[in-house]
Structure 1
């Protein structure tokens, strides 16, 4: 069923630490949610003692998760017996966790009828099945389980647990190219009993004595109409007699139209991947508006869900004929200090009150949460206050805000109140007009927000009241940055790139700009779609998904390295300048994009094989963790392998070779949080200061010819007055009578002009040379082209600067196929299997071989399975 492919063990999660923390949030039993079609749905269940198991008794499917933790079954007596613990649960929509349960021998005693774990929400955002540190557990015993639709599987550290390797986990997975399973530190398979006690069954085919949940129960495997002579596109799903592929959405049969168990959702006409133009019921069915009403539930337009009661921030509205609707209602004054405070604002269109944003934890990654939670807000009836929030660089997270009504004002005057936001440098996009119907502005102590940007909000004030310097100070706003006409544009270009690096080149900076230039900062991030703006997800204290290279030199070239192959990036560049009294210049670029070149992929993650016929091995594998391009082909080879005595003695042989374990190390990439300079806490609000202090001693030069005597400033009355202030004019001098120039004077002036022009050209050349220093340091290595002669010697390759194409052997398979059946093999023989992934468009673009040793079945076992 489906293209089933294994993967290496995921990175270890400290469950021993994390689970106890999770258990702090365990609450009382969830009430029954609904009853329909003779089936009962329950909410998430927390089982911490034997009595809690009664919560499962009336459920046929759990809409949520089930967590068994610290349950002590060592003394099942009195009002309880093993038979009384059995539940009728057939489905779990999220995940199942079994953690540190003592006295638990088999999960069959609790979940004898569990058929599917959907994994719609996962434990730690990864796992759909976790069985961890259960010291008495002998077997899993999930005898009816047919599908784990999504999420990783982790069965670890259960010292007595057998029958783990005998479960075909590949078969259980809904999408094995994305799912992993980890089976470690359980009882060694060599110390466990074998599968046995096969019995005939007409509904399911039990075709292997090595696939079982315990000694007496083989693994259920619904059989498609046929597997032989099906189209390649069918994979292992099989096809019907007409050659039509079976639908992987149906777990128990071939056709989704008459399926008794759907992998995702049961629709009107059969199994579907998602509910379209219908309402989701209990995370498993798609029903119509009328059917939802007939069940006594409420159809939610947002999210298209059929719910029993309105969500937390929605109010029940009773309309005609007693029909209840849910209306998003955000009434009151909301104070957002952390991401947890945003939950009540989710999906709000109108905030009937005021919104105050005061982010207290500067290290919380909250900008994305603000963008998600407040994206729907169009109107605030009161005021908007943003204070003491160093994280914010802009207010663009209110992307759809149209109006601030000002029914309630700060100090009975201000509708937009923005104070003490150290990194705030942008308000709304230029084309985004937010009408302030009543009240005015108050902006102070925003040192990186230019005064001109605030003054542009004058047109938003419906009252027409002019912005005063008392309310919006030109001195406390923008004093830490360069504003106005002094801000120039940079024009970066991608000069060269390879699979992991890019060289960016800037235009020459002129003499005036060079005088204060310290260096440049390069900001970049992965951008699958070219819709990035400079303030998307930006966090003033560096906790965002932008990486940064700070370069304290004046070179107009820079190489950004450590990039991912075959990945599109967005980038922009800004200058690092020092402020001089006589000159203030800064420069920014617009957002640009580039895509790195493809490269060799990492090895196939893991190979998994099984043999039920003595001359065949069925292989599955996971694609590379880092494909680094489009996988065009897989090459599979098989050869006899002289296995060690230890391997031969194992009951179940599927061994990955030692040298295959180290060929796909986890690369340590630079995290956005740690890119750029890392200041101490006292310098936290000035990330570039450390770079400045290191660079300034070598760069500062003060000319003796400049007069830096400070002039007395006039008092600024308002913005118009600020613009009208002119420099003091030079005092007038009486005209002088100058005699006509002589030929000698004219020649002297011509010589002076020539000397000045030569000096200017000389200075300009020196300034350009300074920006082009050490060009050899900015070279990027490129892969050598393919040699014309495929058998070129090493000497020829060196002389011609090319590389000979590597010959490939084995079975060539398309890059979309992750399984293969090796045939014509010898029975009861170990084979060394290798698989290589190859990227399209790269010379010798195949990965290092991933290897495993797999043993074919014996003839006796094959006959036994076939009943011969």
Structure 2
């Protein structure tokens, strides 16, 4: 039987009645096509529901797919006119993995006219990629979701705009309920740190955080912890009770269980363990544009479709394998194209020769984009056409093109410009010329302009790399005025060292920087980062998700106490001479982690009138050991009347080498008169006392009363925030009523420099969305005609 994309995949005949693994599914035009989802529990690929515009809401009555819990790529909802709540379709969708993204997004809900709420109350984890929810005219409750609890990589790149006015939306469930005895009613939804209530719609709260005893693991509605192999919830404490597996799913049906590693004679395919036969029978990913790739194949313990860098595909469709490349390297050709997102960069993974022009234009960063670009574009050795890098905000360097040795410039449609680097606001470096061999630019000219942080001396090594014609570095090719005009391009050296070292503080010391006119020195920037390995200034670093901590300090803030009155006047000026009394500068780095290795460097900032500056080399230091954090997961199991077993996990922050654990045991006399007065067998039912105290708000003796008062104050503060969030401004619980604290309305997009740019970006995204929908139609037509 021929397997069409989207059909449930029967993996094991003996249990096929319960196996519901589907490939990528594209649903459009008619809601009856939704029946493709009827038996799907997992979609290995993407889910696209688009262009269902002519049906009334009754067409979706009683249509629901409670079995679907996981999508491994992305979910796209576009122009579905009649659906009011996505939760009615997918009440149990828990995890979107984002292995492949749509334009850097794992969840896209765009231009759905009658959609009123997302309602995806089970969604608790988006492992990779951002969220885009836009142009849904009636959509509420998008701002009552704490996406930072869902987006594993962070919610900074989420785009949520042009939906219904949140001030006119309804309340979260039980939002108007009040506090009782300083305790929040359990019926009320959880709140974030601002007091904003969190919910998916007027009937469903966002899931509460799991108890601290669960660590980072999932939990059940009752608060009981799931097995460590689970994500997205579970039905019991075993690995076989998981709704979704954190790592790999092994076997199928009632025999299915979650595992950290695949057992012997099975191989890792995305999220599950498969046999070799199942691996080779897996159809290619839908929409794959790699005609030279034959089929899925075995590589070590993995089942892969594309051989990784350093390997090449050999054999035929039924027996293809990945073999190591020869010393001269593999040859894998691919057509030219544009890299404008993480998803589009994936098309070049493993490519060594680009048969055309490579364009790189990246607007958004985050998620460690430089390491992703290095993994996808790092194998490219030759580009037959031109290399164009323009309007790429995140790029700090081009070092991710680490293997590039030749730019042909042939058949270039860029006015003979084979290397075009234009308007990259944060680009500071092309390549590390001291470590990289030269790049041969066979034909064509250079065009490098309007890169404000790219110094001319970083471009100069290219002058000797052009062949035909030989570059003259004229002002038309490379400008000295509009490149590096916002950078200190003539660097002197600062000598940085650690003056004093403590558990959480390190005092840095460096030499004062001397300028002829001290007024041109704005200050110093101190960069530091925790790292186990040595780092470089530009390696795997982008402007939007820079992991370095930065402290910007004026010259006065780091001045060592020398008064300006002590400085001598210059002979030719009435200004004080800052170079007459050079003494070391000091600044403390605080709130460091004990027993941790750090890297640090210092650079100056000067006015544009003085293009000179100074920077230190990177130094390394390790803070002193400190007290560890408390052990985790403490449990006590009573063995006999006089003995018990105590178990615990190591602390999350050991802050040093743990040599021993100190155990203290003390009899609990809390509320002893009340305990003795009641006729309850607390030995047989030890939780009864805890429940009694929790319900009645009991207070014990003097010591107990103090503890209860403190706890009550904390609960009261949190409770007041929650109550205010329910009744405060806007109707969705955005601000506590008894405080002046309002929720920060900072946009979720990184690049919101103006309405024009935002509109252009939205147009480009919708154009890409329409092209994608049209592309899927062509795939289906070609598939049917085969």
| TM-score, normalised by the number of residues in structure 2 | 0.51
Q: 1:377 to 1:643 in 2, by over 3 A?
A: farther
3-state DSSP class of the match of 1:416? strand
Provide the rounded CA distance (Å) in 1 between the counterparts of 2:396 and 2:348.
21
Mapped contact 1:523–1:571 kept (Cα < 8 A): yes
Corresponding residue for 1:593? 620
- Go from structure 1 to structure 2 and tell me whether the alpha carbon gap of 1:325 and 1:603 turns closer, same or farther (over 3 Å shift): closer
Which structure 2 segments of 5+ residues have no match?
48-61, 74-85, 93-124, 129-148, 154-198, 205-213, 241-247, 285-294, 323-329, 560-584, 695-703, 716-745, 755-786
- The 5-angstrom pairing of residues 242-321 of structure 1 reads 263-268=259-264, 279-281=267-269, 283-285=271-273, 287=275, 292-293=279-280, 298-300=295-297, 305-306=302-303
Deviations 1:240-277 (A, max 9, x none): xxxxxxxxx9999xxxxxx99783444447xxxxx7xx
* Secondary structure of 1:437 counterpart: strand
Query: For 1:50-73, what per-residue CA distance to the aligned partner results, in whole angstroms no more than 9, with x for missing partners?
Result: 9999968698x986999xxxxxxx
- For residues 829-848 of structure 1, give each alpha carbon's deviation from its aligned partner in whole angstroms, at most 9, with x where no partner exists: xxxxxxxxxxxxxxxxxxxx
Q: Give the CA deviation at 1:602.
A: 2.4
Who is 2:655 aligned against?
Answer: 628
Q: SS where residue 524 of structure 1 aligns?
A: strand
Q: Which residue is equivalent to 1:438?
A: 443
Q: Does 1:570 align with 2:599?
A: yes
Match among 203, 207, 219 for residue 154 of structure 1? 219
SS of 1:635's equivalent in the other structure is coil
The reply to whether residue 602 of structure 1 matches residue 605 of structure 2 is no
Residues 543-568 of structure 1: per-residue CA shift (max 9 Å, x gap): 41111111111632221222222222
Shift of 1:459: 2.9
Deviation at 1:533, TM superposition (A): 0.9
- What is the correspondence of 1:849-868 to structure 2 with a 5 Å cutoff? none
Hey, what does 2:529 align to over in structure 1?
Answer: 525
Distance 2:458 2:249 in 1: 58
Q: SS of 1:636's equivalent?
A: coil
How far apart are residue 648 of structure 1 and its match?
7.3
Aligned partner of 2:588 among 549, 555, 559: 559
Does 2:36 correspond to 1:32?
A: no
* 3-state DSSP of counterpart to 2:661: strand
SS at match of 2:593: coil
Q: Which residue of 1 aligns with 2:76?
A: none
**Structure 2 vs 1, CA of residues 460 and 283 (structure 1 numbering), >3 Å: closer, same or farther?**
same
Q: How many angstroms apart in 1 are the aligned matches of 2:479 and 2:249?
A: 66
Partner Cα distance (1:58, 1:453) in 2: 54
What SS is found at the alignment partner of 1:569?
strand
Inter-CA distance 365–268: structure 2 relative to 1 (3 Å threshold): closer
- Equivalent position of 2:342 in the other structure: 339
Count of residues in Structure 1 that have an aligned counterpart in Structure 2: 509
Measure how far apart 1:437 and its partner are. Answer: 2.4
Report the CA distance shift for 1:648/1:133 in structure 2 as closer, same or farther (over 3 A): farther
Distance 1:120 1:480 in 2: 38
Aligned twin of 1:383:
386
Q: 8 Å contact 1:602–1:625 — kept in the other structure? A: yes
- 1:461-472 to structure 2, matched below 5 A, reads 461-463=466-468, 465-469=470-474, 470-472=476-478
Structure 2 distance, partners of 1:133, 1:615, is 50
Contact 1:524 1:569 in 2 (8 A): yes
3-state DSSP of counterpart to 1:638: coil
Distance in 2 between residues matched to 1:616 and 1:251, nearest whole Å: 40
Question: Is 1:506 aligned to 2:510, yes or no?
Answer: yes
Tell me if 1:397 matches 2:403: no
Does residue 451 (structure 1) correspond to residue 451 (structure 2)? The answer is no
Is the CA contact 1:338–1:366 (under 8 Å) kept in the aligned structure 2?
A: no
Distance in 2, Cα, partners of 1:181 & 1:512? 62
* Structure 1 residue 522, shift from structure 2 partner: 0.9
Shift of 1:591: 1.7
Say whether 1:473 aligns with 2:479.
yes
8 Å Cα contact 1:330-1:345 kept in structure 2: no
CA separation in 2, counterparts of 1:38 and 1:337?
46
Instruction: Show CA shifts across 1:727-776 (max 9, x none).
Output: xxxxxxxxxxxxxxxxxxxxxxxxxxxxxxxxxxxxxxxxxxxxxxxxxx
Return the alpha-carbon distance in structure 1 between the equivalents of residues 470 and 483 of structure 2: 20
Contact 2:126 2:151 in 1 (8 A): no
Q: Within 2, Cα distance between the matches of 1:65 and 1:620? A: 43
2:21 corresponds in structure 1 to: 43
For 1:643 and 1:65, the matched residues in 2 are separated by 56
Match among 416, 420, 439 for residue 419 of structure 2: 416
Q: How does 1:761-840 map to 2 (within 5 A)?
A: none
> Which of 1 and 2 has greater Rg?
1
Change (3 A) 1:337 1:180: closer
What SS class does the counterpart of residue 370 from structure 1 fall into?
A: helix
Q: 1:126 to 1:441 in 2, by over 3 A?
A: closer
Please state whether the residue corresponding to 2:461 is helix, strand or coil.
helix
Measure the CA separation in 2 of the matches of 1:368 and 1:361: 15
Distance 1:420 1:294, change over 3 A: closer
CA deviation string 1:208-245 (max 9, x = no partner): xxxx97xxxxx8899xxxxxxxxxxxxxxxxxxxxxxx
Among 548, 551, 554, the residue aligned to 1:549: 551
Matches of 1:94 and 1:569, distance apart in 2: 36
Contact 1:64 1:92 in 2 (8 A): no
Alpha-carbon distance between aligned partners in 2 of 1:549 and 1:440, rounded to the nearest angstrom? 41
Matches within 5 A, 1:129-140: none
2:239–2:257: 8 Å Cα contact kept in structure 1? no
